[in-house]
Amino acid sequence: MLGDQLSASISSLQNADRKNDRVLMVEVEQEATYVRHHKKKIAFLFSAMRHFADELRGAGWTVDYVKLNDPENAGSFTGEVERAIKRLRPNRLIVTEPGEWRVRAAMDACQDAFGVLVDIVEDDRFICSHKEFQTWADGRKQLRMEYFYREMRRKTGLLMEGDQPAGGKWNFDAENRKAANADLVFPSPFRVEPDTITEDVLALVAERFAGHFGDLNPFWFGVTRAHAEEALDRFLEYALPNFGDFQDAMLEDEKFLFHSVLSLYINAGLLDPLTVCQRAEEAFRKGDVPLNAAEGFIRQIIGWREFVRGIYWLKMPDYVDENFFGDTRPLPEFYWTGDTDMACLRAAVTQTKEEAYAHHIQRLMVTGNFALLAGVDPKAVHEWYLAVYADAYEWVELPNTLGMSQFADGGVLGSKPYAASGNYIHKMSNHCKTCRFDVKQKTGDDACPFNPLYWDFLERNRDKLQGNPRMAQMYRTWDRMSEDKQQQYRDSATRILTALDKGDR
Ligand code: FAD
Ligand code: DLZ
């Protein structure tokens, strides 16, 4: 049972028998360090695993739980499987398919390496199986989330009136782009005081992973299914009604706005994604939340979440090496410190460090957008996102980063790069008010760096992008500028990129 499979109804358990079988759960160094995960993420997972092991024992399972500081701990999944085989002499292993390619390959290899049958069973927590996604993708020139999402709506019956979408439209995104202002009242996410199990884990993580990114305390994540359900109840009641309207907004001192902060629970198995969506639909049907909110939220889960997973398994293992623009710049140091004069980036990185959380628009339009415009190596960007967020597992993080955010797959996942100048951030946030840079200035030392970098990115990658019909308007605008103006943009961009390379903030 892997750390992101913490569901009592998981397929591996459905295929097992509590009288004769043993559940094996292991805390291993390799999983915490193959990228150096945020301290809060490691603590969340170890504590959730320990609580889950206790729940299984309470339900009559025998659990072999290997703690990280067990002197015999082999340090890796493969090493621990080998030890368990020697200890228990099983005639087969049953595992729900791991979420990540790397771990799936390791589990596959166990069969030959240890001469024991390895039964990898489908992960039925997802709505769309690999086979179904492949069938949907076969023969399509382009894979687009919107069409896939409609299939998932039909399949689940969520927000459907017969064979038509509720409200007559599949997607209410156009209504979901209001800028927030600080006068709104934002509910804070559900928080839990650490119990003794969590306290033990916090001490372990503080000792063993002191050099990892991120603040360990205050630690407030839920670590059981009951906690996750309380977090869901709270979200449905207090945040979902406004989720749609302000989905794309950002505010300087508001880390969560009306976002659910449920991804860490869903991805670890503490919440079932379909049930979460059914609860959101129920709130809409009862008249407690508007349709644009329920639809927007459900789309993220049965649309985007399932879609990115489909792309991951369709395109791996080569996907991780894609680099459409051939970018090579190292990730700026301020992604680890937050020490930058750009207010939006500072806020996104600082809260990432504090909470192992940033919401979607911060990930996409601030940290992601900047890395894209600055030409950062997409693999370095990927490894950063995988390390720093409590909800990050490669199957969901990689397509979001490499595909959606960095366009490094050349348009497999999205139809155009999510590249934007400072104007987007200005429209959707209040960061520019406190920024040392001026978003209204287009070039020069005080200009918002997103402005010149945006045009430089377009011009630098003209051969790759100008044939894209969705980019045509931007190239027309650029081509209409005087040569002088264009040169000013490019000179400003060069100065910024040179400063970045020198480690400037
Ligand atoms: P909400 O805004 O409340 O959304 C509700 C739920 O929808 C989320 O809990 C999540 O389960 C799902 N969801 C929303 N957007 C996406 C999406 N694009 N892909 C998959 N699920 C989605 N999400 C992860 O779960 N893990 C990651 O490692 C991850 N990495 C990302 C990296 C980048 C560069 C980008 C742009 C996005 C990434 N996302 C990732 C998607 C999204 O940003 C997070 O799911 C979301 O911010 C989690 O916060 P929340 O629970 O408050 O989400
Ligand atoms: C992320 C993670 C970490 C940090 N540690 C463990 C661990 O010690 N034991 C475990 O079973 N799982 C851990 N995980 C989650 C795994 O990395 C995850 O299950 C795989 O990447 C498959 O998605």
Higher pLDDT: 175 or 137? It is 137
pLDDT at residue 459, rounded to an integer: 97
Per mean pLDDT, which range of 242-256, 314-328, 365-379, 482-496 is the poorest?
Answer: 242-256
SS3 481: coil
Say if strands 164-165 and 160-161 run parallel, antiparallel, or are unpaired. Answer: antiparallel
SS3 434: helix
Q: Burial, 137: exposed, middle or buried (Cβ in 10 Å; 0-12, 13-18, 19+)?
A: middle
Ligand 1 midpoint to CA 257 (Å): 14
What's the rounded mean pLDDT across residues 190-197?
98
pLDDT at residue 336, rounded to an integer: 98
pLDDT at residue 183, rounded to an integer: 78
Per-residue HEC secondary structure of 367-405 comes to HHHHHHHHCECHHHHHHHHHHHCCCCCHHHHHHHHHHHH
Where does CATH 1.25.40.80 sit in the chain? 130-190+224-315
pLDDT tens digits, one per residue of 60-79? 999 999 999 999 999 999 99
DSSP state of 188: P
pLDDT at residue 225, rounded to an integer: 98
Average pLDDT of the chain is 96
Ligand 1 midpoint to CA 489 (Å): 33
- Shortest-distance Cα residue to atom 26 of ligand 1: 392
pLDDT above 90: residue 204: yes
pLDDT above 80: residue 176: no
pLDDT tens digits, one per residue of 440-464? 999 999 999 999 999 999 999 999 9
pLDDT at residue 406, rounded to an integer: 98
What's the rounded mean pLDDT across residues 173-198?
87
pLDDT above 90: residue 398: yes
Ligand 1 midpoint to CA 362 (Å): 11
Q: How far apart are CA 121 and CA 95, in angstroms?
A: 6
Q: Burial, 485: exposed, middle or buried (Cβ in 10 Å; 0-12, 13-18, 19+)?
A: middle
pLDDT at residue 177, rounded to an integer: 74
Q: How far apart are CA 294 and CA 172, in angstroms?
A: 10
Where does CATH 3.40.50.620 sit in the chain? 11-121
pLDDT at residue 180, rounded to an integer: 77
- Look-up: residue for tokens 């959606």? 404
Q: How far apart are CA 83 and CA 145, in angstroms?
A: 43
pLDDT band at residue 218, thresholds of 50, 70 and 90?
Answer: very high
> Contact, 1 vs 25, CB < 8 A?
yes
Ligand 1 midpoint to CA 305 (Å): 7
pLDDT at residue 434, rounded to an integer: 94
pLDDT tens digits, one per residue of 474-497? 999 999 999 999 999 999 999 999
Q: How far apart are CA 73 and CA 288, in angstroms?
A: 50
- Shortest-distance Cα residue to atom 23 of ligand 2: 99
Under CATH, which number does the domain 11-121 receive? 3.40.50.620
Q: Which residues line ligand 1 (CB under 6 A)?
A: 259-263, 266-267, 297, 300-301, 304-305, 308, 359-360, 363-364, 368, 385, 389, 391-392, 396-397, 400-401, 404-405
24 forms bridges with which residues in the sheet? Answer: 64
Whether 48 lines ligand 2, by a CB cut-off of 6 Å, is no
Which residue, among 51, 59, 76, 49, has the nearest Cα to 21 in the 3D structure? 59
- Shortest-distance Cα residue to atom 5 of ligand 2: 31
Ligand 2 midpoint to CA 176 (Å): 34
What's the rounded mean pLDDT across residues 178-201?
90
pLDDT at residue 244, rounded to an integer: 82
- Shortest-distance Cα residue to atom 11 of ligand 1: 263
pLDDT at residue 359, rounded to an integer: 96
What's the rounded mean pLDDT across residues 389-417?
97
Ligand 2 midpoint to CA 2 (Å): 6
User: Is the peptide bond between 317 and the residue preceding it cis, with omega within 30 degrees of 0?
Assistant: yes
pLDDT at residue 325, rounded to an integer: 98
pLDDT at residue 452, rounded to an integer: 98
pLDDT above 90: residue 248: no
CATH fourth-level superfamily of 334-501:
DNA Cyclobutane Dipyrimidine Photolyase, subunit A, domain 3 (1.10.579.10)
pLDDT tens digits, one per residue of 152-173? 999 999 999 999 999 999 999 8
**Quick one: tokens of 39?**
């301290």
pLDDT at residue 397, rounded to an integer: 98
- Shortest-distance Cα residue to atom 12 of ligand 2: 3
pLDDT above 90: residue 185: no
Which residue, among 180, 165, 158, has the nearest Cα to 243 in the 3D structure? 180
Whether 301 lines ligand 2, by a CB cut-off of 6 Å, is no
What's the rounded mean pLDDT across residues 176-205?
90
Whether 244 lines ligand 2, by a CB cut-off of 6 Å, is no
pLDDT above 90: residue 186: no
Closest atom of ligand 2 to 26 CA is 9
pLDDT above 80: residue 187: yes
Where does CATH 1.10.579.10 sit in the chain? 334-501
Closest atom of ligand 2 to 28 CA is 8
pLDDT above 90: residue 246: no
Give how far Cα 172 sits from Cα of 90, 256, 290, 362, 404, Å: 52, 21, 11, 21, 20
pLDDT above 80: residue 175: no
b (16+ CB within 10 A) / e for 199-227: ebbbebbeebbeebbbebeebebbbbbeb
Q: 130-190+224-315, what's its fold?
A: 1.25.40
What's the rounded mean pLDDT across residues 279-305?
97
Closest atom of ligand 1 to 367 CA is 34
What's the rounded mean pLDDT across residues 121-140?
96
Q: Which residues contact 372 (CB under 8 A, 6 or more apart)?
A: 405, 406, 407, 417, 418, 419, 457
